[in-house]
Amino acid sequence: MSRLGELGAKLYRGEVGYDFVGKRRFWYGVSILITITAIVGLAVRGLNMGIEFQGGAVFTTPKTSVSASQAEKVAEEAAGHDAIVQELGTGGMRIQISNVDTAKADQLRPLLAQELSVKAEDINAELVGPSWGEQIANKAWTGLGVFMILVVIYLAIAFEWRMALAALIALIHDLTITVGVYALVGFEVTPGTVIGLLTILGYSLYDTVVVFDSLKEQTKDLTKQTRFTYSEVANRSINSTLVRSINTTVVALLPVAGLLFIGGGVLGAGMLNDISLSLFVGLAAGAYSSIFIATPLVADFKEREPQMKALKKRVLAKRAQATRETEAGGFSDGGARDADPDGTQPAVVGPRSQRGHGRSSGKRR
């Protein structure tokens, strides 16, 4: 068995583990700090909305010797707006200019043809109206709302409402971080971004549901025992599924990282950037929130119940009693007390027949 497999087996059996739930306030603080950073980035920089949402024109040129940076400068000077230029595999370019109407597009085509040393009739121009992007945004918000409602209902039925609420908070956490990263990085928001954001919702819930399922199994008849509190069982559930969560997350992140860093970064495929960044950040945030946010929140919610408070009180009382008995264990034997009434000598351990070996060997008087 590999070392990772051995670690997973020990985590599953509870032989080793990290106190995720016990240190939840620290992780809450980390999450709040990250979320605030994302919100500030979103408020200060805003999202770089693509022409699908703002409206504009897309010019596709034939093969040209002009570089992408030169083409971007030419397009911005001609249009008076920011332009996004992407090199195509054919040697041509895709030039996006926002806030351009039909009349402006007709003026830009010959100017671009002249500067790029191509024929004007070879440049293909497509106009995108802002109403189309608005429809996409509205449908995306509708889909997100319906998804959230269905998730809460399902988790409340399959598990309980506290788990549903914790999962909802974790989802909002993941979406906020992902959108904030988009604002900070400055990547363009396109329909591909929307697809990526909606896709990560399911991935974000996957690890959370796995931990919740383990927690549900381990907390059956929990109040009938006095060994563990709810928080301790919740922490054990996280540790028992930790290696599985790490494995599934890494396996999912590897191809997405290939799309982001190779497809988008090296090959310069813009659409891959749009989808892969949202997937990459969302998958990582989802794995993080299932371990450090969702399950600790459930433990917080459950520990407020009267029966769980009573259970915790019984568990702590039993442990305190066991500690006192352990500390007094060295003096529980009557013979040991007689041999050392002042408690200055070590307590004698062993059968009574062996307790005279410490006396002097002289005759009795």
pLDDT value for 292: 92
In this structure, are 62 and 204 located in the same domain?
Answer: no
pLDDT value for 34: 92
**What range does the domain containing 78 cover?**
56-128
In this structure, are 209 and 293 located in the same domain?
Answer: yes
pLDDT value for 36: 94
Helix axes 3-13, 230-240, angle to 10 degrees: 160
User: What is the rounded distance in angstroms from the CA atom of residue 121 to the CA atom of residue 203?
Assistant: 46
pLDDT value for 313: 92
Whose tokens are 């794995």? That residue is 287
In this structure, are 120 and 247 located in the same domain?
Answer: no
CATH of the domain at 34: 1.20.1640.10
In this structure, are 74 and 182 located in the same domain?
Answer: no
The reply to whether 309 falls in a domain is: yes
How many C-beta atoms surround the C-beta of residue 236 within 10 A? Answer: 21
pTM of the entire structure? 0.73
pLDDT value for 58: 83
* Contacts of residue 20, Cβ cutoff 8 Å, sequence gap at least 6: 27, 235, 238, 239, 291, 292, 295, 296
pLDDT value for 268: 52
In this structure, are 209 and 95 located in the same domain?
Answer: no
In this structure, are 204 and 266 located in the same domain?
Answer: yes
pLDDT tens across the length of the chain (365 residues): 556 556 556 665 656 678 889 899 999 999 999 999 999 988 888 887 777 777 788 888 888 877 778 888 878 877 777 777 877 766 788 888 877 777 777 888 888 888 788 888 888 887 777 676 677 778 878 888 888 899 899 999 989 999 999 999 999 999 899 888 888 887 778 777 887 888 888 777 888 888 899 899 888 888 888 889 999 999 988 888 888 888 888 888 888 888 777 765 555 555 666 778 888 888 888 889 988 999 999 999 999 999 999 999 999 999 888 888 888 875 444 444 443 433 333 333 333 333 444 444 444 44
In this structure, are 180 and 209 located in the same domain?
Answer: yes
